[in-house]
Chains A and B, each alone.
Chain A
Amino acid sequence: MAKPKVAFYWCASCGGCEETVVDLAEDILKVVAAVDIALWPVAIDIKLKDVQAWKPGDVAVAFINGAVRLSEQEEWVKLLREKCSLIVAFGSCAHIGGIPGLANATTKEQIFANKYHLSPTINNPNGTVPQEHSKVDNYDLELPFFWKDVKTLDQVIDVDYYLPGCPPPPNLVAEAVNAILEGKLPPKGSVLAPEKALCESCPRNETKPDDLTIASFKRVSTSTPDPEKCFLAEGYLCMGPATRSGCGERCINGNMPCRGCFGPTPDALDAGLKLLSAIASRGKADTTESSQVLADSLADPLGTLYRFSLPASLLRRRLVDLHENS
């Protein structure tokens, strides 16, 4: 019997998700013994027309990482949806938007202005900016269109499973690959990671106090957390209470509070708001003024609470041009 085929594809991402496949180490040999890799842009040269020639169902599963931001990425993921039996959103960016999703806190115009004109390290005397169409030496050149908005994979195509994490840890990847090979998959739409909150598996859980007494938040950029104590006990904002476990506590073990890359637990509709509710309501403040001090000590609530999940959040992005169109 022919080996099942798998595809890997990348959209708006950093390459860290490709790295996690390499991080399977020797186990990658078991994977390639069991499957054929039909597409993997980082490692093998396959063109768009090759994929267009596939028949639907030719490829068993596509692992797609990265958020969707360019017209080219939309074209590719729609094509892969057509040709592959299963689509797995691989990593935080495909799952909930990830770091590229933070661009939804600003606008395309602002991004282009900063990138090509305003940044102090830019030397662009002619004010050149990338164009979708341009003519060079009689050749018509085309670049993908840059969308106004960053999207999660499931905001663009139907997704069967999600592998969370920035990047997903190798053990979860190996488990997912095995489950697919053995046909032992959970219901469609499942996130292939534990459902409990990170606090439950956190090595520092014993020092988590019943009552928080945070009067103002500390920042890891200006002070160093105790290497053993619960971050929340010390006043550092940690996303652990509202974030799925299964990551292997990599950040915690690096003395960094959880930043939420695994996304919300299944019962949190919006992880950021849930955490805001839980943390703020138990802060140390009994007046309007001290509540304001507590709130203002969290320097960038949007960037902190939605560091990885802005496009997947209830409010999705910043509204702009207030009143202009209303």
Chain B
Amino acid sequence: MANESFEPKIVGFLCRWCSYTGADLAGTSRIQYPPNLAAIRVMCSGRVDPTFVVKALRDGADGVLIAGCHPGDCHYAEGNYKAMRRFPMLLNLLDQFGIERERVRLEWISASEGDLFAQLVKQFTEQLRKLGPLNWQERIEALCTNL
């Protein structure tokens, strides 16, 4: 399914304290990385309701990144632990819905890890390019027509 011309769309939920600042650092440091990720700043990775992830996939995203502070560094003490506990259960559920686990990632990026953020986006973009488009809307319509 590798398609050179396919540009995956990634929605990134980045925590305001660490990961968004890390992404900002990647920018101010002029580190090159693919433009495939649309960043959404959230107050905490713990605020990322699994509903947000599913809505993004439904509405056209090929992949979703949730990024927060490293465990122990959460501005709200344990928000990132909440994200950590939900994540494998969400993957198990998506698996049953026929959506590949590789489409959703949870990563810890600190405010100083701009280069790590750039590498991650690069790697995730390539991973999704290999996987191909999710195309949820079109595929579900084909499955739900009556004939």
- Inter-subunit contact B139/A326 (CB<8 Å): yes
Contacts of A323 in B (CB 8 A): 1, 132
Using an 8 Å CB-CB cutoff, how does the interface string of A295-326 with B read, 1 for contact, 0 for none? Answer: 11010111101000000001111111011011
| A270-B51, A318-B97 as given contacts; A276 in contact with B143, CB under 8 Å | no
Contacts of A287 in B (CB 8 A): 84
Residue A285, interface by CB 8 Å: yes
Residue A263, interface by CB 8 Å: no
Residue A14, interface by CB 8 Å: no
> Which single member of A74, A149, A300 contacts B144 (CB below 8 Å)?
A149
Interface size class of A (residues with CB under 8 A): 35 or more
Using an 8 Å CB-CB cutoff, how does the interface string of B94-132 with A read, 1 for contact, 0 for none? Answer: 001111100000000000000000000000000000001
Q: Which residue of A lies closest to B58 (CB)?
A: A314
Contacts of A277 in B (CB 8 A): 49-51, 86
Choose among A272, A282, A283, A326 the residue with the greatest number of B CB atoms under 10 Å from its CB: A326
Which chain B residues in 76-99 approach chain A with CB under 8 Å?
A: 81-93, 96-99
Residue A145, interface by CB 8 Å: yes
> Which single member of B51, B85, B136 contacts A283 (CB below 8 Å)?
B85
Instruction: A191 to B139: give the CA distance in the assembly, Å.
Output: 30
Residue B133, interface by CB 8 Å: yes
Contacts of B83 in A (CB 8 A): 281
- Inter-subunit contact A301/B54 (CB<8 Å): no
- Inter-subunit contact A315/B54 (CB<8 Å): yes
- Inter-subunit contact A281/B85 (CB<8 Å): yes
Contacts of B49 in A (CB 8 A): 273-274, 277
Query: How would you classify the secondary structure of chain B's contact residues: helix, strand, loop or mixed?
Result: helix
Interface size class of B (residues with CB under 8 A): 35 or more
Residue B55, interface by CB 8 Å: yes
Choose among A292, A298, A319, A322 the residue with the greatest number of B CB atoms under 10 Å from its CB: A319
- Inter-subunit contact A319/B144 (CB<8 Å): no
> Which single member of A269, A291, A319, A326 contacts B87 (CB below 8 Å)?
A291
- Inter-subunit contact A294/B85 (CB<8 Å): yes
- Inter-subunit contact B88/A317 (CB<8 Å): no
| A148-B146, A277-B49, A326-B133 as given contacts; A301 in contact with B93, CB under 8 Å | yes
- Inter-subunit contact A325/B85 (CB<8 Å): no
Using an 8 Å CB-CB cutoff, how does the interface string of A164-197 with B read, 1 for contact, 0 for none? Answer: 0000000000000000000000000000000000
Measured CB to CB, the closest approach of chain B to A119, in angstroms, equals 22
- Inter-subunit contact B51/A269 (CB<8 Å): yes
Instruction: A71 to B147: give the CA distance in the assembly, Å.
Output: 10
- Inter-subunit contact B136/A314 (CB<8 Å): no
Residue A31, interface by CB 8 Å: no
- Inter-subunit contact A319/B98 (CB<8 Å): yes
Contacts of B140 in A (CB 8 A): 316-317, 319
Instruction: A302 to B89: give the CA distance in the assembly, Å.
Output: 10
Residue A21, interface by CB 8 Å: no
Residue A286, interface by CB 8 Å: yes
Residue B145, interface by CB 8 Å: yes
Measured CB to CB, the closest approach of chain A to B20, in angstroms, equals 21
- Inter-subunit contact B133/A276 (CB<8 Å): no
Residue A147, interface by CB 8 Å: yes
Contacts of A315 in B (CB 8 A): 54, 58, 97, 99, 136
Residue B135, interface by CB 8 Å: yes
Contacts of B63 in A (CB 8 A): none
Instruction: A269 to B55: give the CA distance in the assembly, Å.
Output: 10
Measured CB to CB, the closest approach of chain B to A179, in angstroms, equals 32
Measured CB to CB, the closest approach of chain B to A289, in angstroms, equals 10
> Which single member of A149, A295, A325 contacts B89 (CB below 8 Å)?
A295
> Which single member of B89, B98, B132, B147 contacts A320 (CB below 8 Å)?
B98
Contacts of B93 in A (CB 8 A): 272, 276, 301-302, 305
Residue A79, interface by CB 8 Å: no
| A318-B97, A319-B143, A326-B133 as given contacts; A295 in contact with B51, CB under 8 Å | no
Q: Can you list the 5 inter-chain pairs with the closest CB atoms, starting with the nearest?
A: A319-B98, A295-B88, A281-B82, A302-B96, A295-B89
Jot down 9 A-B pairs with beta carbons below 8 A, ordered by A. Answer: A269-B51, A274-B49, A277-B86, A281-B85, A292-B88, A296-B88, A317-B143, A319-B140, A320-B143
